[in-house]
Structure 1
């Protein structure tokens, strides 16, 4: 039996590189030889046992590579095609799929979340989820389309109005994509808060009008400076204490977007009177909902820049140690070079 190397999470906090069976493509599937795979905050939650996944699992839902083998019934691709893939697998038949809410599909599955993923030499995926990438696009950027598709879905949910005064908490890899997207969408003022001065400097370069260190947020963003608060507040940290702080700056009729992924059991305190009296709109944004193709077009046509957000590339055998220790505070996107 053919085998391959893969990151195998046997249980929370227990990960290793093992030899596992090669994923032969089934009907309607292709097997991709993985070149690059991104490490996402969701992967960290999976490693810690804080997400929807069960175990054992090969994680990895942000990836790119080359088609290695084609399963029965697949005619749209050829061996050797450079590709990336949408990880979410919708049934197409339930009430959510039939009403354009596929990310809440009754039979929802996802590569690297509920099914074997791309932190491996090979991954098998439905051909209908595969997208070709141009020769001019690096595999690193190709592995970035999935997180960009999450941002596109968030922007669809938010429906930012031109001129909205916007406050963003978190200038990591996802925050940096949101900064470019919010700027393109017409935010007038875009204030970004983070713990890293390096990330804030990058935020200023790519569209933030003002940056604030997180320990100075109350001092610089309070009512003495912003008596009416902000029209839009976005959290890209997934940290409950930050979320509670962020909500304090939301003005009347404001929209709050929860983009950052928290642990499943996280809780925050929210004043229902503020929610009522200030006419707030609270918005969640779960993964992707038919936004992979728009994200690919945005990136392919250089409307959003991603290459500079890849700040570290590591080999597969170093991933267990990184998951256990965590990435450095100034790292943005860490990717795995598989091939």
Structure 2
């Protein structure tokens, strides 16, 4: 099959021929029809989040099941599916409780195993990890749900406990931040979007943000003023010392900070204002994706039209463009929205 692979950190990812994956006994092989290009892929490629090398990146995808292992009971060949970016082992207490996103023996396409920048991808524990898709949800939109949309959904619903009328501050309007803006607005929240990019802020406004704030040292005072004393929920969708501190500092008493953006390298231990956490009795959460068990509620929100993840898609490219799409993330963004790679159905072998 064809796949995009890099052999060393920072090396140009290249479209090459590689052996097709073997089907796990408890898993499936999925023919990839669309896959998102995520900043997490960029972090792995740059070596910020170490992975085994060589590596095929990609973890936000949708496609059709091409092969089913003998131990699988719930999935079938030809089924349209997607998969969370965190795959549980299917054997531990966390997986049994529906919390596979924190499974101690988890696997992740594009990180711990070959990913979805390929014509085929193998997924273990398919009865636990594979999510069926309705026929009316196109593959590009389903790929846009990926880790960014699902992570934002769980961050707001499970951790943020967002209610109608709440103020939600979203720091960073990349893929996960724009997803959070759209979902929060659909939940009836009033949204403040923060970013340094004018195109990103403009799109956030189109997706439901009520207040647009330019990122920088004056962002927190503007948020506190616009929300009448602080947000009920604030999300760091970037993952930096500055945005994590700003998110916590943007909260009103008893507010909830949710860390979604990865904090890596020099940003791994941000100097959070713990004095504010104590004085205001703030809550701090991390959000690491969403288990397959929780996808139906999100898909229902998509099916009824309350959210439109297709509006997040900024560019649709081919698999051969994956390397250039990753490289573009090393430069300041000039456009808004997420990039999705679209693959055609494979020719019979």
TM-score by length of 1: 0.89
- Native 8 Å contact 1:152 1:291 kept in 2: no
Alignment-derived partner of residue 10 in structure 1:
7
Distance in 1 (CA, whole Å) between partners of 2:276 and 2:255 is 11
Q: CA deviation at 1:100?
A: 4.3
Aligned match of 2:347: none
- Give structure 1 stretches of 5+ with no counterpart: none
Distance 1:229 1:157, change over 3 A: closer
Counterparts of residues 162-173 of structure 1 (less than 5 Å):
162-173=164-175
Find 2:84's aligned residue among 61, 83, 86.
86
Evaluate the alpha carbon distance shift between residue 32 and residue 252 of structure 1 in structure 2; reply closer, same or farther with a 3 A threshold. same
Offset at 1:75? Answer: 5.3
> Structure 1 residues 198-207 or 302-311, which shifts more?
198-207
Seen in structure 2, the aligned counterparts of structure 1 residues 66 and 216 have a Cα distance that, compared at 3 Å, is: same
Distance 1:228 1:28 in 2: 52
| Cα distance in 2 between the residues matched to 1:222 and 1:322 | 33
Deviations 1:92-148 (A, max 9, x none): 333433454322212111222211111101112233222332332211012123333
Alignment of 1:220-235 (within 5 A): 221=222, 228-235=229-236
Q: State the distance in 1 between where 2:224 and 2:153 align.
A: 31
Distance 1:225 1:77, change over 3 A: closer
**C-alpha deviation, 1:231, in angstroms:** 2.3
Match of 1:247 in 2: 248
The CA distance in 2 between the partners of 1:167 and 1:99, in whole Å, is: 31
TM-score (normalised: structure 2): 0.86
Which residue matches 2:38? 40
Shift of 1:333: 0.7
| Aligned counterparts, 1:1-339, within 5 A | 4-14=1-11, 15-51=13-49, 53-74=51-72, 76-126=74-124, 127-128=126-127, 129-147=129-147, 148-155=149-156, 156-187=158-189, 189-215=190-216, 217-218=218-219, 221=222, 228-266=229-267, 267-289=269-291, 290-326=293-329, 328-339=333-344
Residues 226, 34 of structure 1: alpha-carbon distance in 2 compared, 3 angstrom cutoff = closer
Report deviation, 1:225: 5.6
Q: 1:164 to 1:239 in 2, by over 3 A?
A: same
Residue 314 of structure 1: how far off its partner (Å) = 1.7
SS of the residue aligned with 1:279? coil
Answer whether contact 2:192 2:223 (CA < 8 A) is retained: no
RMSD: 2.4
Give the Cα–Cα distance (whole angstroms) in 1 for the partners of residues 280 and 221 of structure 2. Answer: 22
Deviation at 1:193, TM superposition (A): 1.1
Please tell me whether the aligned partners of residues 249 and 276 of structure 2 are also in contact (alpha carbons under 8 angstroms). no
Structure 2: tracts of 5 or more residues without a match: 345-349
Contact 2:144 2:338 in 1 (8 A): no
User: For 1:141 and 1:272, how far apart are their aligned partners in 2?
Assistant: 40
Q: Which has the higher strand share?
A: 1
Q: Contact 1:312–1:331 at 8 Å: present in 2 too?
A: no
Q: Give the drift of 1:77.
A: 4.3
Structure 1 residues 197 and 68, CA gap change in structure 2 (3 angstroms):
same
Local SS of the residue matching 2:18: strand
- What SS class does the counterpart of residue 204 from structure 1 fall into? helix
How far 1:299 moved relative to its partner?
Answer: 1.9
